[in-house]
Amino acid sequence: GAAARTLAGTGSVLSTLSALDAEAAVVGAVLGGHRFDRHRTSTDAAAVPVGSWSFTGADDAAVRRATLVAEAVATARDLVNTAPNVLVPETFAAHAVALGERAGLVTEVLDDAGLRENGYGGVTGVGKGSANPPRLVRLTWNGGPAASKRVALVGKGITFDTGGISLKPNAGMADMTSDMGGAAAVVATVVLAAKLELPVTVTATVPMAENMPSSTAYKPGDVLTMFGGTTVEVLNTDAEGRLILADAIVRAAQDDPDYLVETSTLTGAQLVALGMRTAGVMGSDELRDRVAAHGTAVGEDAWAMPLPEYLRGELDSRVADISNVSGQRFAGMLLAGVFLKEFVPAGLPWAHIDIAGPSFNTGGPRGYTTKGGTGVPVRTLLAFLEDVAANG
């Protein structure tokens, strides 16, 4: 990755590192030199990525696979890096569908009217404060005739998060363009599964909304009726991601998947607990540990976190089935996981990957990680899907 940036502006490069590890060489080169230029009016020639790479001593199939993986991560990065006035729910949904259709996926979109009609109270509640109405996108790769397992992926698609009525402080708010990092990752992953022709059925359910303060915005004290009927008392409108995810989890579970894995920039508490580079993984013990192990193995770094049963009482509501936050500041990441668990059917193996820090690099480039969107956890999700395809 560092070499790719150093060689920026070079017409072509021959890499012998691929003789040692084709995937590391290809992914490192493509991602290390990745640059997002959509919003630039001119580009310094010295900053243009390497024009073409040649990889020696590597099997062509391995190079092709690694290239597809790197392109998927780059797709997720580009989505995160797109300005939030350009990537609103409607345009995000259209782009996701276009990516899916080019890869041969089955696509479905619910617009604002469809969401209201079908009772998606979390998505519509969060989205009603914005002039850009919400969407819910579903993309399905059927896995082909050899597919015997079904995996549901869910990703949070808040295209910008002001905090709503519970307004965030100004410092760092611009980074909230990354609050749809989970959605970007699952869209890129299901498209990648199709391109790699993985023998596993994968459906991504992606709720998209913009969380804004306005005269129509939802507010603390409101009670939302979620998809499936559960009522939620809103105590903080900046805990909006879990609300749209809850709707999506219930919908995804209706497909009767064997596994449900979701990811999001869920909590600032993840950064406090684990820092900027390590994702927190919560959920069913066995699947949680399996997903965390894949995250560490591919270099995206993940750590298993507990969901103590006693925390559920912290979310008891005065007027509804559950509150979206507790009255204290401790264990914020775990409480968000406990909230989401309420919407997962009993017995369904489930894991949530909190990528609040790892999905967006606010510092300078390092290795194959450039500034801005990182594309985490696309490679973790791919490793899990390949594991399921091979081992069930």
Architecture of domain 75-391: 3-Layer(aba) Sandwich (3.40)
SS3 33: coil
CA 235 to the chain's CA centroid: 25
- The domains of the chain are located at 1-58, 75-391
Which positions ≥6 away from 97 have C-beta within 8 Å?
107, 109, 137, 139
- Per-residue pLDDT at 46: 59
Q: Which helix (H) or strand (E) holds 140?
A: strand 135-141
pTM for this structure?
A: 0.97
pLDDT at residue number 79 = 98
To the query of whether residue 168 is one of the catalytic residues in this protein, the response is yes
Active-site residue, 341 included: no
Among 35, 168, 277, 371, the active-site one is 168
Catalytic pick among 77, 150, 156, 242: 242
Instruction: Please report the sign of the dihedral spanned by the C-alpha atoms of residue 240, residue 151, residue 276, residue 374.
Output: negative
What pLDDT score does 96 carry? 98
Per-residue pLDDT of the chain (392 residues; tens, 9 = 90+): 999 988 888 888 999 999 999 999 999 999 999 989 899 887 676 567 787 889 999 999 999 999 999 999 999 999 999 999 999 999 999 999 999 999 999 999 999 999 999 999 999 999 999 999 999 999 999 999 999 999 999 999 999 999 999 999 999 999 999 999 999 999 999 999 999 999 999 999 999 999 999 999 999 999 999 999 999 999 999 999 999 999 999 999 999 999 999 999 999 999 999 999 999 999 999 999 999 999 999 999 999 999 999 999 999 999 999 999 999 989 999 999 999 999 999 999 999 999 999 999 999 999 999 999 999 999 999 999 999 999 99
Q: What is the DSSP string of 198-246?
A: -SSEEEEEEEEEEE--STTS--TT-EEE-TTS-EEE-S-TT--HHHHHH
Give the CA angle between residues 27, 382, 26 to the nearest 5°.
10
Strand 279-283 to 302-304 pairing = parallel
Q: Would you state the pLDDT for residue 69?
A: 98
pLDDT of residue 50: 80
